[in-house]
Structure 1
Amino acid sequence: MHTSDWHLGKRLQRRSRDSEFDAVLAEIVEIARRTLPDLIVHSGDLFDRYSLSPGDLMRAMTSLSALRSVAPVVVVGGNHDSPHWFDVLDHVFQNTAEPGAHPVTFVHTAADGSGGGRVLDFPTRDQSQRIRLAALPFIHPNRFMHLFPGLGTTHGAYAQGLRGLQEELITQLHEGYSPQHDVLVFATHLYLSGALLSGSERHLDVSDAYATAPDDLPRVSYCALGHIHKPQALTSSKATAHYAGSPLQFDFGECDDAKSVLLVEADPQRPTRTAPQRLTAGRLLKKFTGTLEELAFRAEEFSNTFLDVTITSQNLIPQLSQKVATAVPDADVVYLTEDCAETRITPLNVSDLPQEEPELTESFRAYLTEHGTPGRVADEVLAAFGSLLHHPGGDEPPPCPAELGLQEALAHPWTPDSTGSETA
């Protein structure tokens, strides 16, 4: 069973979702108890933040304890997970396990920044086969120079370094590998080029500079991918690869996503098959665009949802937020936008622009008129402007009226007369 990106502690614009997490985690545990998988893989981002609340920590421990009562559990470190907290959880689970209990294994980047990948072996429930799992946690881009010295700092260096780590891990995976007996699985937390983002991922960690090509995945029966919250399959020539996605809708870019966990049936002698198991416990995120009256008419449709509302109107609606809340009393309005015709700014299209450029002098005259330049002054300024406009080169332009007036003043300066007053 493949699950991923729980992001325990994540909020929606400061709104707690703890009750939803409790419900959906109970649903995941129930699916595990019903289907009895041989192995449960969590492909990263168990938590949303490095600093944990006691409630989030207890929620993770309770859920993982319930899952390990069904099958072994492996949790791969994601970009949101703290290696130090993973060490704490590992210590707790190792020292509280009853004899014969299934293990819970945490695979993360070490505190010194080393890669931290591991190969783990798990017998199937009927002991007829062995699952060989290569687990590669998220490698932070700000640590890659320490991990991959000599590769440089180009965009391709990070992906090249990851390929090197992956190749080392896959070499270990094939040591003692039996093609008739072993099922090979690769679990990792990384961004594959071509993956569809939802909008709730941390954008610095899903840029094209740090993308891995799907065909760079190893040749295994199944690749359990984490990091992207929209559940999806990735086309790879070497493996069946899936992002399990998040168990709750975290962003309005996920409105149309059906959340699930994946059951993976893998066998060395047959193609791998996947079967999503729908998760329904979380509240839905929905978008609405229309008038206030249309919103009220569809109020029942938005009951118990988080809502992104855009109200269209001809005139501004006073106290709009209160009126929207009254229209959909059973919804939680997260975003509210008013698209009002009287305040809307419509950008010009190319077809709206004048087909012929107006004459420059006339445009300047209109500008002077608009700014209230007196007529006589405007005439002199326009004459100077026209003179400069028609003599752009090195030729000496003829004197303009303002220049002639200045020359006249300099030729006949003002002088004081005998009475002390100034005369020309």
Structure 2
Amino acid sequence: MLHTSDWHIGHTLHGFPRNEDFDAVLAEIVAIAQEYRPDLIVHSGDLFHTSRPTGRDMIRALQVLIRLATVAPTVVVAGNHDSPTYFEFFDLLTGPSVGRGLFFVDQVRPAHEGGVLTFDACGGEQRIRLAALPFVHPNRFWQRSAPDTSYSDYAEGMRELQAQLLEAMREGYDPDRDILFFAAHVYITGAKRSPREQAMDVSFEAAPEDLPKVSYTALGHIHCPQAVRGPKFPARYSGSPLAMDFGEANDSKSVVIVDAEPGRPVRVQPRPLSSGRRLAVFEGTLDKLRAEAAQYDGTFLKLLITGEEPDGTLSQKIAEIVPDAIVIRPELAGEAATDAILGCDPGDEPDLPDAFRAFLVQVGLSGAAAESMVTAFIQLLSEVDDETPPPVRAEELLRAALEDTWAEAS
């Protein structure tokens, strides 16, 4: 199997489009698929950066996925950035009903309705059974008896969903023929996150020991490629193919090649990706930048300049030193210090929660009360891209009352 994830097609970096980078790295992924000729290709979520991708972004994604499907059946699991409705539409246009070999899993489904997919492998001598678990919003596990969904509610709900899929996968299981794979878009406790993900990721967590015991679990949601620590069976985030912000500038991006066969341990091989413009961070004097200028050609470059006084010509000086770099809002060291209250680079997008936290500090609110408000604010932001409206307690209580009306006394 070839495992890839978190393409985030449509992402821009501080307003700079990245179409050139997406085209390059996606072509590299296609070339890797053509080289290895896997029996199955799995994309574990966040195909797009927003739930309302542009027409051009949809064309870019589908063109690449159709090319991958000519190599092997290709399954795409919806992430938290993806629209289930769009995925349902894509499946109608390019799915198995029209013979494309593309499978879009838009939402959690029972096994017989697309939750478990079966594919022949090795010319039919072996069989792959894949359980797919798209991003699950915590609202799914909201209980009428409790005002809020807790982390324990979420963890228990996820365990139940996984158990149902695993049970379905094991129906008719032949240990001499079958390979079991699992794909999920979820944050696993303990996974390494970028600074931006630490600030913005508000989805509830799942414990590594709760992952199903299968040959390999293909995870999506976290951009840093990494194995999940804890379970004795292989589980891995393939990560995003491009750095999404400067907090990921030093990540080694990759896809994952999974070699599985009944009766022997699975071999997992990350395959590095090298396409797309590099993100680089520089801190120092203009003289130091001048000495190192060649290494920043063709990069997105973030600079913090020291030893200079504000005179309005900083951008011009930098442009003359690194004319072939895309410079992202250069700053003087003294100016950057004024933004320290934000706790992270204010230019990294999205920065609304950090800006809101800074606002609360400015108006005199801090500590647990401020963090409670920030958490609520982040949850509201996350609802913007979620197509399932959150439950309304009053509506639920009214519906319950109507379902259990009093009988009139005779």
Alignment TM class, shorter chain as reference:
0.7 to 0.9
- Shift of residue 325, structure 1, vs aligned partner: 1.8
Higher mean displacement: 260-269 or 216-225: 260-269
- Shift of residue 35, structure 1, vs aligned partner: 0.7
1:240-275 Cα deviation digits (max 9, x unpaired): 011000111111111111111110011221111111
- Shift of residue 131, structure 1, vs aligned partner: 0.6
8 Å contact 1:221–1:268 — kept in the other structure? no
Q: Structure 1 pair 56/165, CA: closer, same or farther in 2 (3 Å)?
A: same
Counterpart residue identity of residue 235, structure 1: R
In structure 1, how many angstroms separate the alpha carbons of the residues matched to 2:318 and 2:238?
A: 35
Matched, 1:294 2:291: no
Pick one of 165, 169, 173 that aligns with 1:173.
169
SS state at 2:38 partner: coil
Counterpart residue identity of residue 2, structure 1: H
After TM superposition, list the pairs within 5 Å mapping 1:100-249 onto structure 2: 103-109=101-107, 118-145=115-142, 153-201=149-197, 203-206=199-202, 210-249=204-243
1:370-397 Cα deviation digits (max 9, x unpaired): xxxxxxxxxxxxxxxxxxxxxxxxxxxx
8 Å contact 2:303–2:330 — kept in the other structure? yes
SS state at 1:126 partner: helix
SS state at 2:271 partner: strand
In structure 1, how many angstroms separate the alpha carbons of the residues matched to 2:227 and 2:144?
A: 33
Q: Structure 1 pair 52/46, CA: closer, same or farther in 2 (3 Å)?
A: same
1:117-171 Cα deviation digits (max 9, x unpaired): 70111110321111110100001123431xx666762222112111111111111
> Which residue of the partner structure matches residue 50 of structure 1?
51
Q: Structure 1 pair 291/317, CA: closer, same or farther in 2 (3 Å)?
A: farther
SS state at 1:295 partner: helix
Matched, 1:255 2:253: no
SS state at 1:225 partner: strand
8 Å contact 1:108–1:117 — kept in the other structure? no
Greater helix fraction, Structure 1 or Structure 2 = 2
Greater RCO structure (CA 8 Å; 6+ sep): 2
Alignment coverage as a number of residue pairs = 336
- Bigger Rg, structure 1 or 2: 1
Higher mean displacement: 190-199 or 75-84: 190-199
In structure 2, how many angstroms separate the alpha carbons of the residues matched to 1:82 and 1:192?
A: 22
1:198-256 Cα deviation digits (max 9, x unpaired): 2454855446xx11111110100100000001111112324201100011111111111
In structure 2, how many angstroms separate the alpha carbons of the residues matched to 1:216 and 1:78?
A: 20
**Percent sequence identity over matched residues?**
48
> Which residue of the partner structure matches residue 284 of structure 1?
278
SS state at 1:267 partner: coil
Higher mean displacement: 268-277 or 78-87: 268-277
8 Å contact 2:225–2:253 — kept in the other structure? yes
1:172-210 Cα deviation digits (max 9, x unpaired): 111111112111101000001111112454855446xx1
> Which residue of the partner structure matches residue 61 of structure 1?
62
Counterpart residue identity of residue 127, structure 2: R
In structure 1, how many angstroms separate the alpha carbons of the residues matched to 2:284 and 2:181?
A: 48
8 Å contact 2:45–2:78 — kept in the other structure? yes
Q: Structure 1 pair 315/344, CA: closer, same or farther in 2 (3 Å)?
A: farther
1:395-422 Cα deviation digits (max 9, x unpaired): xxxxxxxxxxxxxxxxxxxxxxxxxxxx
SS state at 2:80 partner: coil
> Which residue of the partner structure matches residue 307 of structure 1?
301
- Shift of residue 2, structure 1, vs aligned partner: 0.2
8 Å contact 1:90–1:106 — kept in the other structure? yes
Higher mean displacement: 194-203 or 241-250: 194-203
1:304-353 Cα deviation digits (max 9, x unpaired): 00111111116445421221222211111113221149x9999xxxxxxx
Higher mean displacement: 192-201 or 156-165: 192-201
SS state at 2:266 partner: strand
Q: Calculate the TM-score normalised by the size of structure 2.
A: 0.77
Matched, 1:331 2:325: yes
> Which residue of the partner structure matches residue 320 of structure 1?
314
Structure 2's unaligned 5+ residue stretches are 341-410
> Which residue of the partner structure matches residue 368 of structure 2?
none
Q: Structure 1 pair 166/276, CA: closer, same or farther in 2 (3 Å)?
A: same
Counterpart residue identity of residue 179, structure 1: P
> Which residue of the partner structure matches residue 353 of structure 1?
none
Q: Calculate the TM-score normalised by the size of structure 1.
A: 0.74
Q: Structure 1 pair 324/74, CA: closer, same or farther in 2 (3 Å)?
A: same
Matched, 1:11 2:12: yes
Counterpart residue identity of residue 330, structure 2: L
Q: Structure 1 pair 317/297, CA: closer, same or farther in 2 (3 Å)?
A: farther
Counterpart residue identity of residue 175, structure 1: E
After TM superposition, list the pairs within 5 Å mapping 1:256-405 onto structure 2: 256-313=250-307, 315-340=309-334
> Which residue of the partner structure matches residue 415 of structure 1?
none
1:17-38 Cα deviation digits (max 9, x unpaired): 0111111111111111111000
In structure 1, how many angstroms separate the alpha carbons of the residues matched to 2:257 and 2:327?
A: 35
- Shift of residue 276, structure 1, vs aligned partner: 1.6
> Which residue of the partner structure matches residue 355 of structure 1?
none
1:66-121 Cα deviation digits (max 9, x unpaired): 001000000001000001110111011138845xxx521111227xx999870111
Counterpart residue identity of residue 257, structure 1: D
Structure 1's unaligned 5+ residue stretches are 347-424
